[in-house]
């Protein structure tokens, strides 16, 4: 791993909110005196009733995590109302549409009215505090309005990424028992339309068969494309918002009342509903947004993620709006109309901070420097990366070509479960090493352990745990607290286990090495190999499937599938297409298999466990170092897999 050190640029140091001395002092206090630290920083959001209790968390036994528990507040109030007096006319959201000539600005005052109206629509149609609302939307401001409208009335939103299939959407509607769904006629991305309403229609049918009847399907007209209509259930967004009052009081929520559920993949079973609550999450997203991006009053800030992912929740909507920032919402993709799009958008809106994913950086790097150099980018001050490890080459390109050497890069490690950024540089404080997420944020206590759970000190390579609670942490798996305990607190009792491998170097910097479980990361999207496998075996020709990740130049990891066919079934190009379609139908386009290999047998131990280590090596074309295969029930299957591998260099 490259250890080239990039010291904090003088400019960044001069204007930064936090320099290195401050970082060290605050960090020390945050872990020595968490009560005192968070009592003070908990004041950064507005409370209706101030909290007196700060932290009440245990990672043992039943695992219970509570922050600011006797305080009351409201997330939408903190994102909107409290800014109205001072910045009612300031842009809250700048919407940059898919086509470059479509931009819209929404002031804080306008945001207030939009959110209140939608909240009143929800109430009028029976949504009450604690009810779950599913949001299946394109990247348009109305997606943020829907989230904030839920927060305003105390409903719990579950945003489902617009790229997920009807089956995947249905599964999430059913798990959340959600009877109110917000969607659009069609989404538009990179010039292509996505049939969201048609997908939602199918999802409602499936959910209905599984016992959950969607009562309202509120549909935003985005393209005006043809859609089917079910009277009584389907209503147009704008028709409804016109009928109601433009004001709606923000519900008084207890700090530990749920704010949202977001489904994410794990190594086993169905996606889990990660549950976040109100007070701690708002404190965490706002404090991290301010210090990690060195956000100053008046800055224009752009996180180019989708609200369907946690990054969109925490760093397009809640964190920036809690801080009264101007947040850019982008409907399109970085390569449309061409690979200049991000940088042209930066110039157009004079954006100061850009936060995106390594997969986008690699794709743009591949397109060539001229797409960058023909733009000015003089407004840029801080660049961010999130979603997967960033390789040093992509880091250097981002730093040198995009940022012209003057913008610190914050490589932020965190997860859906952590609610917000955990390990990260601070622009004015941290000397950077390309590829390292560097040091823990305030209050975060990382620890590396070996497979047996022994704590590793100093320079070490191990499994990344966090030893104590932080305010933004998930509280439970929706409807399944046992699964929460099992998934995160049982591998290393008393500690939160992230599922990531990590190295700590001699300077105490952290280098995330990727997942150590059966989760793969494709273009920054998390996927359980088990989910892809269950989609494959649902096809009548497949008797068994094993899925692993392999290195992919742009996506980070690609999806490599081994399938064993039912007796008598022959492999054909047509069958390959059917299997690809099967996975896309069950999960969505993001899970499209890159390679499928027929495997007459899979390498299994005598107890029947598939040895994925071997399958990974073969997929990586690294079959020279398969390690010990003596425990295999039939070592002969390995030779066959190698002879027929799909990934020859
Ligand atoms: C925010 C988000 C979480 C997983 C995580 C890790 C990987 C995220 C990273 C990173 C290396 C970074 N990951 N950021 N790996 N460096 N800066 O991405 O949440 O979708 O839940 O994914 O992504 O493997 O465990 P989520």
DSSP per-residue codes, 269-334 = SSPEEEEEESHHHHHHHHHHHHHHTT--TT-EEEE-S-TTSHHHIIIIIIHHHHTT-EEEEE-S-T
Q: Which residues contact 370 (CB under 8 A, 6 or more apart)?
A: none
DSSP state string for 336-361: SS-TTHHHHHHHHHT--EEEE-HHHH
Task: Provide the pLDDT for residue 1.
Answer: 46
State phi, psi for 221 to the nearest 5 degrees: -85, 105
Indicate if ligand 1 lies below 6 Å from the C-beta of 557.
no
Indicate if ligand 1 lies below 6 Å from the C-beta of 477.
no
Same domain for 498 and 533: no
Same domain for 583 and 437: no
Residue 539 labelled as part of a binding site: yes
Same domain for 620 and 494: no
Give the H/E segment covering residue 181: strand 180-184
Q: Which residue has the tokens 């914050």?
A: 410
Best CA proximity match to 413, nearest among 515, 282, 286: 515
Same domain for 303 and 224: yes
Residue 276 labelled as part of a binding site: no
Tell me if 2 is assigned to some domain. Answer: no
Distances, alpha carbon 359 to alpha carbons 492, 522, 556, 646, in Å: 32, 9, 7, 23
Residue 571 labelled as part of a binding site: no
Indicate if ligand 1 lies below 6 Å from the C-beta of 499.
yes
Task: Provide the pLDDT for residue 2.
Answer: 47
For residue 278, what are its two tokens?
A: 């109100």
DSSP state of 526: E
Q: Which residue has the tokens 């950064």?
A: 44
Return the biggest CA–CA distance within the chain.
Answer: 73
Distances, alpha carbon 473 to alpha carbons 59, 139, 247, in Å: 12, 26, 32
Task: Provide the pLDDT for residue 93.
Answer: 98
Could you tell me the CATH number of the domain that includes residue 562?
A: 3.30.300.30
Work out the end-to-end distance of the chain between its first and last CA atoms, rounded to an integer number of angstroms.
Answer: 23
List, run by run, the mean pLDDT of 10-residue segments along the chain (649 residues).
Answer: 80 95 98 98 98 98 98 99 98 98 97 98 98 98 99 98 96 98 98 98 98 98 98 98 98 98 89 97 99 98 97 98 98 97 98 96 94 98 96 95 97 98 98 97 98 97 98 98 98 97 97 92 91 93 94 94 93 96 95 95 82 90 78 83 80
Task: Provide the pLDDT for residue 624.
Answer: 77
Half-sphere exposure of 1 (CA within 13 A, CB side): 22
Indicate if ligand 1 lies below 6 Å from the C-beta of 426.
no
Tell me if 514 is assigned to some domain. Answer: no
Same domain for 466 and 549: no
Which of 470, 503, 536 marks a domain boundary? 503
pTM of the model: 0.94
- What is the spatial distance between Cα 578 and Cα 580, in angstroms, rounded to a whole number? 5
Same domain for 302 and 186: yes
Indicate if ligand 1 lies below 6 Å from the C-beta of 388.
yes
Same domain for 572 and 611: yes
- What is the spatial distance between Cα 110 and Cα 87, in angstroms, rounded to a whole number? 11
Which of 503, 536, 562 marks a domain boundary? 503
Tell me if 344 is assigned to some domain. Answer: yes
Distance (angstroms) between ligand 1 centre and the Cα of 512 equals 9
Chain-centroid distance of CA 441 in Å reads 18
Q: How many domains does the chain have?
A: 2
Residue 44 labelled as part of a binding site: no
Q: Indicate which residue's Cα is closest to atom 4 of ligand 1.
A: 415
Indicate if ligand 1 lies below 6 Å from the C-beta of 73.
no
For residue 368, what are its two tokens?
A: 């060539």
Distance (angstroms) between ligand 1 centre and the Cα of 596 equals 26
- Burial (Cβ within 10 Å: 0-12, 13-18, ≥19) of residue 478: buried
Could you tell me the CATH number of the domain that includes residue 273?
A: 3.40.50.12780
Q: Indicate which residue's Cα is closest to atom 12 of ligand 1.
A: 413
Tell me if 516 is assigned to some domain. Answer: no
Distance (angstroms) between ligand 1 centre and the Cα of 438 equals 14
Indicate if ligand 1 lies below 6 Å from the C-beta of 416.
yes
Tell me if 460 is assigned to some domain. Answer: yes
Per 3-state DSSP, the chain is made up of helix, strand and coil in percentages (nearest 5) of 35, 25, 40
Same domain for 546 and 432: no
Same domain for 210 and 74: yes
Indicate if ligand 1 lies below 6 Å from the C-beta of 237.
no
Best CA proximity match to 648, nearest among 625, 618, 614, 627: 618
Indicate if ligand 1 lies below 6 Å from the C-beta of 500.
yes
Indicate if ligand 1 lies below 6 Å from the C-beta of 158.
no
Runs of H (alpha helix) within 62-178 = 75-79, 84-87, 108-124, 141-153, 166-176
Distance (angstroms) between ligand 1 centre and the Cα of 415 equals 5
Give the sign of the dihedral formed by CA 141, CA 146, CA 150, CA 152: positive
Task: Provide the pLDDT for residue 631.
Answer: 73
Q: Residue 519 CA: which ligand 1 atom is closest? A: 24
- What is the spatial distance between Cα 101 and Cα 51, in angstroms, rounded to a whole number? 47
Strand order in the sheet with 300-303: 103-107, 91-96, 326-330, 300-303, 353-356, 382-385, 409-411
Residue 584 labelled as part of a binding site: yes
Q: Which residue has the tokens 């100053």?
A: 296
Length of the chain: 649
Choose one of 487, 512, 590 to mutate for the ligand 1 pocket test, by most ligand atoms within 8 angstroms of C-beta. 512
Indicate if ligand 1 lies below 6 Å from the C-beta of 521.
yes
Tell me if 513 is assigned to some domain. Answer: no
Indicate if ligand 1 lies below 6 Å from the C-beta of 313.
no
Residue 461 labelled as part of a binding site: no
Give the H/E segment covering residue 259: strand 258-264
Indicate if ligand 1 lies below 6 Å from the C-beta of 74.
no
Tell me if 251 is assigned to some domain. Answer: yes
DSSP state of 202: H
Q: Indicate which residue's Cα is closest to atom 15 of ligand 1.
A: 388
For residue 61, what are its two tokens?
A: 């036994």
Same domain for 235 and 276: yes
Question: For residue 629, what are the domain limits?
Answer: 523-644
Which of 454, 472, 503 marks a domain boundary? 503
Tell me if 1 is assigned to some domain. Answer: no
- What is the spatial distance between Cα 246 and Cα 115, in angstroms, rounded to a whole number? 9
Same domain for 438 and 497: yes
Same domain for 425 and 368: yes
- What is the spatial distance between Cα 252 and Cα 271, in angstroms, rounded to a whole number? 31
Residue 187 labelled as part of a binding site: no
Choose one of 526, 528, 529, 590 to mutate for the ligand 1 pocket test, by most ligand atoms within 8 angstroms of C-beta. 526
Indicate if ligand 1 lies below 6 Å from the C-beta of 413.
yes
- What is the spatial distance between Cα 487 and Cα 82, in angstroms, rounded to a whole number? 38
- What is the spatial distance between Cα 286 and Cα 301, in angstroms, rounded to a whole number? 13
Distances, alpha carbon 131 to alpha carbons 122, 176, 310, 473, 649, in Å: 10, 9, 20, 22, 52
ipTM of predicted assembly, 2 dp: 1.00
Q: Indicate which residue's Cα is closest to atom 8 of ligand 1.
A: 387
């Amino acid at each position: 791993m490259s250890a080239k050190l990039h010291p904090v640029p003088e400019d960044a140091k001069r204007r930064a909110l936090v320099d290195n001395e401050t970082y060290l002092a605050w960090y020390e206090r945050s872990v020595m005196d968490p009560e005192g630290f968070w009592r003070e920083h908990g004041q950064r959001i507005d409370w209706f009733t101030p909290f007196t209790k700060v932290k009440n968390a245990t990672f043992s036994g039943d695992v219970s995590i509570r922050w600011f528990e006797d305080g009351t507040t409201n997330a939408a109030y903190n994102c909107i109302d409290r800014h109205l007096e001072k910045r009612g006319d300031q842009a809250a959201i700048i919407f940059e549409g898919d086509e470059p000539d479509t931009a819209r600005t929404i002031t804080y005052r306008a945001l207030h009215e939009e959110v209140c109206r939608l909240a009143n629509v929800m109430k009028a149609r029976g949504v009450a505090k604690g009810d779950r609302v599913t949001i299946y939307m394109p990247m348009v401001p109305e997606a943020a309005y829907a989230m904030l409208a839920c927060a305003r009335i105390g409903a719990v939103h579950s945003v489902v990424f617009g790229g997920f299939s009807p089956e995947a959407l249905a599964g999430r509607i059913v798990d959340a028992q959600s009877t109110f769904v917000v969607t659009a006629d069609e989404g538009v991305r990179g010039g292509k339309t996505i049939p969201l309403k048609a997908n939602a229609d199918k999802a409602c049918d499936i959910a209905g068969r599984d016992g959950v009847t969607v009562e309202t399907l509120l549909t935003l007209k985005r393209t005006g494309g043809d859609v089917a209509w079910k009277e009584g259930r389907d209503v147009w967004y704008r028709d409804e918002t016109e009928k109601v009052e433009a004001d709606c009081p923000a519900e008084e929520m207890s700090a530990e009342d749920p704010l949202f559920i977001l489904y994410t993949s794990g190594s086993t079973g169905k996606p889990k509903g990660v549950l976040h609550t109100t007070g701690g999450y708002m404190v965490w997203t706002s404090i991290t947004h301010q210090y990690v991006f060195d956000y100053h009053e008046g800055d224009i800030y752009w996180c180019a993620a989708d609200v369907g992912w946690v990054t969109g929740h925490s760093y397009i909507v809640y964190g920036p709006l809690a801080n009264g920032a101007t947040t850019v919402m982008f409907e399109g993709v970085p390569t449309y109309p061409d690979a200049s799009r991000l940088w042209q958008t930066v110039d157009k809106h004079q954006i100061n901070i850009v936060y995106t994913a390594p997969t986008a950086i690699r794709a743009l790097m591949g397109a060539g420097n001229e797409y960058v150099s023909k733009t000015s980018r003089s407004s840029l001050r801080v660049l961010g990366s999130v979603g997967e490890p960033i390789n040093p080459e992509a880091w250097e390109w981002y730093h040198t070509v995009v940022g012209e050497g003057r913008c610190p890069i914050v490589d932020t490690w965190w997860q859906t479960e952590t609610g917000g950024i955990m390990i990260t540089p601070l622009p004015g404080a941290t000397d950077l090493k390309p590829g390292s997420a560097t040091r823990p944020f305030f209050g975060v206590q990382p620890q590396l352990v070996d497979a047996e759970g022994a704590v590793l000190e100093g320079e070490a390579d191990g499994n990344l745990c966090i030893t104590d609670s932080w305010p933004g942490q998930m509280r439970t798996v929706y409807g399944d607290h046992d699964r929460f305990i099992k998934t995160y607190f049982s591998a290393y009792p008393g500690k939160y286990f992230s599922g990531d491998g990590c190295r700590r170097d001699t300077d105490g910097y952290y280098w995330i090495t990727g997942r150590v479980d059966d989760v793969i990361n494709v273009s920054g999207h998390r996927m359980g190999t088990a989910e892809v496998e269950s989609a494959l075996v649902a096809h009548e020709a497949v008797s068994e499937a094993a899925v692993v990740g392999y290195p992919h130049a742009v996506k980070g990891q690609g999806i490599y599938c081994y399938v064993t066919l039912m007796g008598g079934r022959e492999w054909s190009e047509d069958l390959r297409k059917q299997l690809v379609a099967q996975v896309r139908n069950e999960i969505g386009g993001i899970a499209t298999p890159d390679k499928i290999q027929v495997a007459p047998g899979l390498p299994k131990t005598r107890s029947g466990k598939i040895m994925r280590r071997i399958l990974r090596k073969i997929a990586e074309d690294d079959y020279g170092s398969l390690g010990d295969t003596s425990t295999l029930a039939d070592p002969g299957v390995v030779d066959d897999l190698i002879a027929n591998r799909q990934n020859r260099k």
